[in-house]
């Protein structure tokens, strides 16, 4: 049960280490290289894949092991050489974030071991294993991203399968005692990986691994099997349990590793004036193995008052012509565009500020059948009144005739002076508009009321200074805008 618990804990730790960073990017700038699906924080795309080759000595730990630390190096009358075994393999690495990654390992090797006491036997065997593991960046966690910048130190743990065969022999007679046949078992690899970045593409390093197996048969011997009878039975056919009365077997290696970093347009961070300098906008990509994505975000520049003043002056727009802001005659057309800048107060003008006789225009259009054109007029009112004055009635009748004849439209906008509350003035301007519209329909004979568009603004759109009597009078109006 103790071993089962340890195995479950190892699986759980491996799963946690393989998980990517769950934090979403803190900001999403308008960079063309922004990668919204990345498992790491930061605004830029980074290269994340690499492939490694490793080669080095292997070592067995189990029943047929003479010493705990040092292998037997010579074959004599009562011993057998344990050293000299090798292994090699390939690793596919995927960096998920600056802190976490994953790796897929494939290894091929051989193992040896011997034991004088009790067993008096030795074994030789071959194995092939495949595993997937999660990695954690120890250097980054313990020292931060800006120290030992060229170094990468990872711890890892995972799960996989081993396929193996081994034969056990009598130590003094060399007679075969046991053989495993072709077997496979679960494994839990744990290790430490140290790398140094040499170029944009190449890293060199060391990989130290100890692999725990769910088996006591890697050495063709299970704990307590002291029988030296040369029956040579095949364990794969006879075994009833994964272990005897000893611990499960383990094996490991120490290897030299060469890593090739995949990805397009690789960049390598350089030191400038004693500081690491990143230039992600130069058209290349840093590798997530060595680069904290947050380091690529340039800190905002805080401008001094002199710099802000300089920027403001450089971006200041050209001065506008002051005539655009003046309307000397108060006809609603600025002096810059006004063709008649001294037109009489209250005059009806066109878009160029030229004085128009609205009533004369309407009568001429009725007489000659002219098409409708955009032209303006005002119907004036007394204080707090919405009664149509006699001088406006004739004009409204002619407007109705022109609308009936040529299909013109009419836009009405009601206004007041400022001498009341906003709510009251809005209601008064509406009553004035309704009075003009009702007069057109009921008295002037307008046949299509849908051609009249109404709006009302209270005192919010004055055309004259309400501080003077003349200004108050000009603001008490309904604007008529004849439209095609």
112 and 240 in one domain?
A: yes
Q: For 400-430, what is each residue's pLDDT tens digit? A: 888 888 888 899 999 999 988 999 999 999 9
Query: Rounded to the nearest 5°, which phi and psi values hold at 453?
Result: -110, 130
165 and 75 in one domain?
A: yes
In a domain, 306, yes or no: no
The sheet with strand 409-414 has its strands ordered as: 375-380, 477-483, 409-414, 452-456
What pLDDT score was predicted for residue 21? 40
What pLDDT score was predicted for residue 35? 63
Residue where a domain stops, chosen among 271, 296, 321: 296
Instruction: Count Cβ atoms within 10 A of the Cβ of residue 132 and give its class: 0-12 exposed, 13-18 middle, 19 or more buried.
Output: middle
CA atoms within 13 A on the CB side of 212: 16
In a domain, 369, yes or no: yes
Give the CATH number for residue 112: 2.40.160.20
Residue where a domain stops, chosen among 279, 296, 313: 296
Lookup: tokens for 448: 């299509």
Instruction: Count Cβ atoms within 10 A of the Cβ of residue 366 and give its class: 0-12 exposed, 13-18 middle, 19 or more buried.
Output: middle
What pLDDT score was predicted for residue 8? 42
From CA 293, how far away is CA 295, in angstroms rounded? 5
In a domain, 345, yes or no: no
From CA 433, how far away is CA 415, in angstroms rounded? 9
Angle subtended by helix axes 358-368 and 390-406, to nearest 10: 40
418 and 275 in one domain?
A: no
From CA 457, how far away is CA 427, in angstroms rounded? 9
Residue where a domain stops, chosen among 268, 296, 324: 296
What pLDDT score was predicted for residue 69? 83
In a domain, 351, yes or no: no
81 and 217 in one domain?
A: yes
CB 262 within 8 A of CB 203: no
247 and 361 in one domain?
A: no
147 and 41 in one domain?
A: yes
* Closest C-alpha among 396, 360, 355 to residue 379: 396
Structural domain range at position 90: 2-296
Question: What torsion do the CA atoms of 215, 218, 219, 221 make, to the nearest 10 degrees?
Answer: 30
264 and 412 in one domain?
A: no
In a domain, 188, yes or no: yes
From CA 452, how far away is CA 435, in angstroms rounded? 13
What pLDDT score was predicted for residue 3? 46
Give the CATH number for residue 380: 3.30.1330.60
| Ranges of the chain whose pLDDT falls below 70 | 1-37, 231-233, 236-242, 322-333, 344-353, 355-357, 368-371
In a domain, 330, yes or no: no
Q: Sign of the CA dihedral 251, 257, 260, 261?
A: positive
From CA 342, how far away is CA 337, in angstroms rounded? 13
What pLDDT score was predicted for residue 355? 67
What pLDDT score was predicted for residue 225? 85
In a domain, 309, yes or no: no
3-state secondary structure of 53: strand
Instruction: Count Cβ atoms within 10 A of the Cβ of residue 400 and give its class: 0-12 exposed, 13-18 middle, 19 or more buried.
Output: buried
Ramachandran region, residue 84 (left: φ > 0; alpha: ψ -120 to 50; beta: rest) = left
In a domain, 284, yes or no: yes
Q: How many domains, in total, are found in the chain? A: 2
149 and 12 in one domain?
A: yes
The kind and range of the H/E element at 368 are helix 358-368
Within 19-170, residue ranges assigned H as helices are 138-143
From CA 264, how far away is CA 296, in angstroms rounded? 18
133 and 50 in one domain?
A: yes
* Closest C-alpha among 410, 417, 480, 482 to residue 449: 410
224 and 149 in one domain?
A: yes
390 and 282 in one domain?
A: no
Buried b (16+ CB within 10 A) or exposed e, 89-118: bebebbbbbbbbbbbbbebebbbbbbbeee
Within 173-273, residue ranges assigned H as helices are 235-238
Other residues' Cβ atoms within 10 Å of the Cβ of residue 254: 16
Buried b (16+ CB within 10 A) or exposed e, 309-325: eeeeeeeeeeeeeeeee
The pTM for the full model equals 0.58
From CA 25, how far away is CA 160, in angstroms rounded? 33
3-state secondary structure of 33: coil
From CA 327, how far away is CA 330, in angstroms rounded? 5
Q: Kindly calculate the radius of gyration of the chain based on its CA atoms and give it in whole angstroms.
A: 47
380 and 260 in one domain?
A: no
């Amino acid at each position: 049960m103790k071993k089962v618990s340890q195995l479950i804990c190892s699986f759980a730790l491996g799963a946690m280490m393989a998980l990517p960073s769950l934090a979403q990017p803190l900001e999403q700038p308008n960079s063309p290289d922004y990668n919204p699906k990345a498992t790491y924080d930061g605004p830029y795309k980074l290269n994340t894949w690499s492939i490694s080759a490793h080669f080095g000595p292997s070592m067995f730990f189990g029943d047929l092991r003479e010493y705990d630390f040092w292998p037997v190096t010579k074959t004599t009358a009562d011993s057998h050489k344990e050293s000299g075994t090798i292994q090699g393999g390939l690793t596919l690495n995927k960096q998920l974030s600056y802190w976490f990654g994953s790796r897929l390992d494939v290894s091929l090797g051989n193992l040896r071991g011997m034991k004088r006491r009790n067993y008096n036997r030795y074994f030789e065997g071959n194995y092939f294993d495949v595993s997937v593991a999660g990695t954690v960046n120890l250097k980054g966690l313990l020292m931060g991203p800006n120290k030992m910048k060229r170094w990468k130190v990872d711890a890892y743990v995972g799960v996989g399968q081993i396929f193996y065969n081994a034969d056990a022999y009598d130590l003094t007679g060399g007679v075969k005692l046991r053989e495993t046949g072709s077997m496979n078992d679960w494994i839990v690899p744990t290790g430490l990986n140290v790398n140094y970045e040499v170029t944009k593409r190449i890293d060199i390093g060391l990989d130290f691994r100890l692999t725990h197996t769910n088996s006591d048969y890697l050495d063709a011997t299970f704990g307590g099997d002291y029988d030296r009878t040369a029956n040579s039975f095949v364990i794969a056919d006879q075994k009833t349990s994964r272990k005897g009365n000893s611990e499960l077997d383990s094996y490991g290696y120490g290897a030299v590793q060469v890593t090739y970093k995949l990805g397009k347009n690789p960049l390598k961070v350089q030191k400038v004036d004693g500081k690491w300098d990143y230039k992600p906008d130069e058209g290349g990509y840093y590798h997530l193995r060595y680069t904290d994505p947050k380091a690529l975000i340039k800190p905002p520049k805080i401008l001094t008052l002199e710099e802000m003043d300089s920027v403001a002056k450089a971006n200041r727009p050209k001065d506008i012509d002051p005539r655009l802001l003046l309307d000397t005659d108060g006809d609603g057309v600025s002096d810059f565009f006004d063709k008649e800048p001294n037109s009489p107060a209250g005059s009806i003008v066109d878009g160029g500020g030229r004085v128009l006789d609205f009533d004369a225009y309407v009568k001429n259009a009725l007489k000659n059948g002219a098409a409708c054109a955009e032209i303006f007029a005002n119907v004036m009112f007394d204080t707090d009144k919405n009664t149509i004055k006699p001088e406006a009635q004739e004009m409204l009748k002619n407007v109705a005739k022109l609308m009936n004849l040529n299909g013109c439209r009419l836009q009405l906008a009601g206004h007041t002076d400022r001498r009341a509350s906003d709510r009251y003035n809005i209601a008064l301007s509406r009553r004035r508009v309704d009075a003009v519209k009702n007069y057109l329909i009921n008295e002037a004979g307008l046949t299509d009321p849908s051609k009249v568009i109404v709006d009302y603004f209270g005192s919010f759109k004055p055309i004259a200074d309400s501080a003077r009597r003349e200004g108050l009078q000009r603001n008490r109006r309904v604007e008529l805008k004849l439209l095609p």
